[in-house]
Amino acid sequence: MLQKIYPRSKDKETVYLKSVITNPNIIVGDYTMYNDFVKEPKDFEKNNVLYQYPINQDKLIIGKFCSIACGAKFIFNSANHTLSSLSTYPFPIFFEKWGLDVKDITKAWDNKGDIVVGNDVWIGYEAVILAGVTIGDGAIIGARAVVTKDVPPYTIVGGVPAKQIRKRFNEETIDTLLKLKWWDWSKERISKNIAAIQSGNLGYLL
């Protein structure tokens, strides 16, 4: 894919994320876009990816053709305070004050893993995705939802904490779409099939 920042020439509020990311621990697929009408969308990794400290090496992985709305946040492990301690106070972070070994700083929080977002996922306005969550292909995250658990493919979730509202399609259609992986097609093949994709009729693609 030829990397340009703005999908539309007169729209500076929407960017292709892959073109503005510099952090090697944020991996974004082709055509995934982010819109921000409040802040500079090119500052996504500073404003929207929170507590992703290098010491943890946790990753944000986002697939192709995702649509991320204004203010969506991805909150990583370092935002957590460990629950295995008798206190939630993060003593290891203040190692100098308490004479602790700096190498143990990650004991201040519980490490739940990476955030993985599949392909063709729509994340709504000001939704929050927490560390350790995997969102399946084709899923939809409702506005201001707080996602604390994995979301299956082609599932709509919403609320705080986010709960399943419904599946987008029947299981047979979902299985076929997951095998089809249209997002991995060439640009030329996708272009020829846009009308079929938008029709909602899987039969036109087969």
Q: What is the pLDDT of residues 154-176, one digit of tens each?
A: 999 999 999 999 999 999 999 99
- 5-55 pLDDT, tens digit each: 999 999 999 999 999 999 999 999 999 999 999 999 999 999 999 999 998
Question: Which residues are designated catalytic?
Answer: 81
* Across 148-154, average pLDDT: 98
Rounded to two decimals, the pTM is 0.93
Euclidean distance between CA atoms 18 and 51, whole angstroms: 20
Residue 204 banded pLDDT, cuts 50, 70, 90? confident
Q: Residue 199 above 70 pLDDT?
A: yes
Give the DSSP letter string of the chain: ----S-SSTT-SSEEEGGGT---TTEEE-TT-EEE-SSS-GGGHHHHTEES--GGG---EEE-SS-EE-TT-EEE-GGG---SSSS--S-GGGGHHHHT--GGGGGGGS-----EEE-SS-EE-TT-EEETT-EE-TT-EE-TT-EE-S-B-TTEEEETTTTEEEEESS-HHHHHHHHHH-GGGS-HHHHHHHHHHHHHT-GGGT-
